[in-house]
Structure 1
């Protein structure tokens, strides 16, 4: 009997994933990662629900305290990013360096397990011709979470199982009811766990970064208003600027050196390309020349046709077929071929907006 360690957050998805594997005859062990204090589904109240699910299924439940790891790799990562004027995406970082790594390490060292499973909506396929494990979109495109999993290594894909990858979300709820799971009607998390725990990203940032008032300027350097700190803004933002103008203005850059928020019209918040760092070629080997693909520049954004040019040092240049609005440094950009995730990385920088050099 194959032993599978299932990551349980206390939500309906991970609960149902555990129940599916249990009913398929796997030896299932529940594992909850203690990430932080607070009310997020992955923390205090989630632990209680996860423990109850394990009791319902008649399986053991383990809690692993990885708060220090979460502090270093996620909280410090976020705070450093926001202080530098970028908008980090913590989810893909958390999946690889915190959750999946911690799960397989504990499974191997403490539980004698060789496989881990989660409630993510994605699929894994082993390509016998290339010898690589491929990350694929979920059958339910409305719930597909492959965007957040692009950074998984071949080693992690080899040991991972996604039981929900082939079913619809409605099937997950139905199965949860059929199995009599306590979490069957539990509402879904609607935001980042840090936001849920703190109430808002601003409240979270205020714990680590002091407000630093400065000027909001246009591309000519004219002062249009004031801000409380560049950490509260993101490229592409329109609402909450607190300035009056005859036409809509957007944040086009964050100048942390001079503590300025730079705004302009929509054309100046539009980019033709970007440079991506920390690239992971997940389903294919790194190509030797440029390739064509489609990308998501953020989760649930429309697919965009691009040319991807590999660069040295796990970097790439992504050239959009048509200019794109709001390319945000710190966010993930993930490229696909049909349902296959080819790779992805973190947006490092973009082409300069017209006129910004004058500021």
Structure 2
């Protein structure tokens, strides 16, 4: 019987992943990471639900306190980014640094196994020709979470199972009901865990960043209004500017040093290219020449055709040249490129040059 450590958040997806593997004959061990200091849905109700699931399945449940790591790798990372006028994406960083890495280390050191599973909607397959593990989109494109997993290493992919990658969310709910899991009807989380815990991203950030009034200006430097903190804004934002103008205005720049929010029309919020750093090449080795792909610049954005141009010999920076200009490209967010269903690589969008 093969032993597998299943990451349990207390939600229906991870519950079904554990129950399915248990049904297939795996020796399942539940593992929940205690992430957040203070009260948060995923770290109070979630811990209880995960423990109850393991009791229902008759399997052991371990809880690992990773609150200090989450604070340093995610909370501090977010706050520093917003202070600098970028909009960080915490989920991919959290998956690699806080979840998959520590889970694998704990499984190997404490539980005598190197196999782990989660309830993510994605697929993994081994390509003998390239001798690499390929990360693929989930069958359910509406739930596909490969975008958030682009930063996983080959070692992590080699030891991971995604039991839900071949099924739809409705099938997951149905399986939960068939197994009579108490999480079968549990509502789906709609926000970042930090947003759920604090009510809004603004409320969370205001605990760490002192609001400071500054100017909202156009591209010519004309003052159009005032704001209460650059960290309350993101590139492409339209609502909440508090400016009366004949045509819609969008945030096109965040100048943290000058405490200024720069706005412009929709055309000025579009760019034909952007630079990406901290690249992780997933399903392919770093290329020596430009490649064609389809890129997502946000989780819910549609993939668009792009040329990926390497900028260094290490493959850590690229320039993305879009076939058509893209709206609201946001420094700090992830750009992730695919070849059909296969995730080739991804990285963090750099700040635009002034």
TM-score (norm 1): 0.97
CA-to-aligned-CA distance 1:253-283 (integer Å, 9 cap, x gap): 0011111000000111100100000000000
Match of 2:288 in 1: 288
**1:114 Cα deviation after fit:** 1.1
Aligned to 1:332: 334
Q: How far apart are residue 233 of structure 1 and its match? A: 0.4
Partner of 1:232 in structure 2?
A: 232
Report the alpha carbon displacement of residue 38 of structure 1 after superposing the two structures with TM: 4.6
Superposition deviation, residue 37 in structure 1: 3.2
Give the Cα separation in 2 of the matches to 1:117 and 1:47. Answer: 17
SS in 2 for 1:182: coil
Residues 237 and 250 of structure 1 are in contact (CA less than 8 Å); yes or no, is this contact kept in structure 2? yes
CA offset at residue 300 of structure 1? 1.6
Taking the TM superposition and a 5 Å limit, the aligned residue runs for 1:301-316 are: 301-312=301-312, 313=314, 314-316=316-318
Q: Distance in 2 between matches of 1:284 and 1:337?
A: 10
Shift of 1:42: 2.6
C-alpha deviation, 1:40, in angstroms: 3.7
Match of 1:184, SS state, is coil
Q: Does 1:179 align with 2:179?
A: yes
Q: TM-score, normalised by structure 2?
A: 0.98
Deviation (angstroms), 1:208: 0.4
| Contact preservation (8 Å) 1:9, 1:41 | no
Distance in 2 (CA, whole Å) between partners of 1:207 and 1:258 is 22
What SS class does the counterpart of residue 185 from structure 1 fall into? coil
Conservation of the 8 A alpha-carbon contact between 2:230 and 2:256: yes
RMSD: 0.9
Corresponding position: 1:345 with 2:332? no
Distance in structure 2 (CA, Å) of the matches to 1:222 and 1:207 = 31
Matches of 2:160 and 2:311 in 1, distance apart? 29
Q: What residue is the counterpart of 1:56 in the other structure? A: 56
- Structure 2 CA distance for aligned equivalents of residues 281 and 65 of structure 1: 30
Map Cα deviations across residues 213-262 of structure 1 (whole Å, 9 max, x no partner): 10000011100000001000001000000011110000000011111000
Q: Which residue of 2 aligns with 1:320?
A: 322
Distance in 2, Cα, partners of 1:215 & 1:326: 21
For residue 349 of structure 1, report the CA deviation from its aligned partner: 3.0
Separation in 2, partners of 1:320, 1:265: 20
CA drift of 1:2 comes to 1.1
Deviation for aligned residue 1:149: 0.3
Partner Cα separation in structure 2 for residue 188 and residue 290 of structure 1: 40
After TM superposition, give the deviation of residue 41 of structure 1 in Å. Answer: 4.1
SS of the residue 1:73 aligns to: helix
Question: Does the 8 Å contact 1:136/1:341 carry over to 2?
Answer: yes
The answer (yes or no) to whether the contact 2:86–2:351 under 8 Å persists in 1 is no
Q: What is the alpha-carbon distance in structure 1 between the residues aligned to residue 120 and residue 302 of structure 2?
A: 21
Residue 237 of structure 2: SS of its match in structure 1?
A: coil
- Contact map agreement 1:33 1:42 (CA 8 A) in 2: no
Distance 1:24 1:40 in 2: 33
Q: Helix, strand or coil: the match of 1:31? A: strand
Which residue does 1:129 correspond to in 2? 129
2:34 equivalent to 1:34? yes
C-alpha separation between the residues in 2 aligned to 1:149 and 1:303? Answer: 16
Which residue does 1:192 correspond to in 2? 192
Aligned to 1:94: 94
Q: Which runs of 4+ in 1 moved over 2 A?
A: 37-42
State whether residues 39 and 196 of structure 1, in contact with CA within 8 Å, keep that contact through their aligned partners in structure 2: no
Matched residue, 1:103: 103
Residue aligned with 1:48, SS: helix
Distance between the aligned counterparts of 2:346 and 2:39, measured in 1? 31
Instruction: Check conservation: 1:15, 1:183, Cα contact below 8 A.
Output: yes
Contact 1:38–1:44 (Cα < 8 Å) also in 2: no
Q: C-alpha separation between the residues in 2 aligned to 1:45 and 1:185?
A: 14
- 1:146: how far off? 0.3
